[in-house]
Amino acid sequence: MESFEEGDLTKDIGTPLLQETVGNVTKLILEGLKVMHQQGIAHGDLKPGNIFVESMSPVWVKLGDFGVSKRILAQSNQTLHTPVSTQLRSTPEVLRLGSNSETSDYTNCVDIWSLGCVI
């Protein structure tokens, strides 16, 4: 397992980052999510503690902690059902706050919602 001397993004909570830095971090995370989603993988718990910093100059971050990640087959219209992730960054579907809270389904789009919360 890799070691990240810079830690993760939790150390930056409450400290404003330069807009350019936030943009670069966001772009890298989106690129990582694109690859994952193309492979049918939903991270499911995207949060500052799961975004590891290799370097802030130049910006280089990596996604980690895939313990609750799920895979959806590309040819299926399968959805996820397991209520996972950190509540502060969870979609209404994951929190079962939808119109049918007993059977709330969701897709890997939950990662985009969580990224918006992180940013």
pLDDT digits (tens, 9 = 90+) for 16-34: 899 999 999 999 999 999 9
**Which two structure tokens, joined as six digits, stand for 23?**
């943009």
Q: Over the chain, what is the mean pLDDT?
A: 79
How far is Cα 106 from Cα 76, in angstroms, rounded to an integer?
14
The pLDDT of residue 19 is 95
**Which two structure tokens, joined as six digits, stand for 26?**
């966001």
The pLDDT of residue 10 is 92
Is the model's pLDDT at 97 over the cut of 60? no
45 among known catalytic residues: yes
Q: Give the count of beta carbons closer than 10 Å to the beta carbon of residue 93.
A: 21
Pick the catalytic residue: 45, 65, 105, 111? 45
Are 112 and 90 in contact by the 8 Å Cβ rule? The answer is: no
Model confidence at 89, pLDDT cuts 50, 70, 90, reads: low
Domains, the chain = 9-118 (1.10.510.10)
Is the model's pLDDT at 117 over the cut of 80? yes
The string of DSSP letters for 6-26 reads T-BGGGGTTSPPPHHHHHHHH
